Chain A
């Protein structure tokens, strides 16, 4: 059983925004909506600048799904959170609830009136017949039904953004971490006791 996931390697992302562009191009995303975005932390600080690409994370316990007044969300058997634009009423509750700011609303009228919600579909379309014109118009390309993976991850030039089955991308990331010899310290001695040999006495607490 596959469980679709995204993983962004902050060590590798070069903030090229290629994933954003690929997504817009592949899905013909409505004007004013970016299903994916790249955010840079400590922008311009040498040695501390890290970029992360973020979109819908297809949560297991999705807040958007829980607060939707018309229950237009559903989760596929691959763990992709999708929604039905025919049911969406544009209330904006999913946008309040989402931690990542993934759901977005094209403006549908004066005074910021919200249209139908639009978000990342993991390139899995929506409830319309797969690979149909109607599905493409509403949700974009259904690449999973073509045997492909999300465009953003597949075209990422540094392979910072991984997307696909959780087991496989975990393997890829683990392999990568072992090779470059960093990243795993988050769990290990480096974090707990600073640089030093395993088994060395921990640092003495400061006297008060």
Chain B
């Protein structure tokens, strides 16, 4: 079996929504959307709502966070955009063996304890630390909601504008 080519891994609280289908999919020429989420994997309503939002030529692959690495291995060929609901899911998937070289943090909603990083991204201290650990393993961590945004990169635990 061929593996999917992970062209982008992204943290987005809203998973499949307008920015993904209208902007990122054309930008990345993605053919498959992989949703790595335990709730979606067990919720048929969520899955079918996502399915009807996709154009015919696109595929949706839903897997539990721990299983996504295996699911991606034999779902190819195709260019895949992998979506995680939260930072912790991205870390878990990475720990479980999903290979991605870059992680894009796109939308993380406000919650008590989270501080604003950009107008669309709020992060708690432990989430910044988790991203730092991920970056230490060689994953390039970037804060970028839309391609037109200037990306922020993680340097020594602080987000700053890239050179």
Chains A and B belong together in one complex: no
Residue positions of B touching A, CB distance < 8 A: none
Residue positions of A touching B, CB distance < 8 A: none
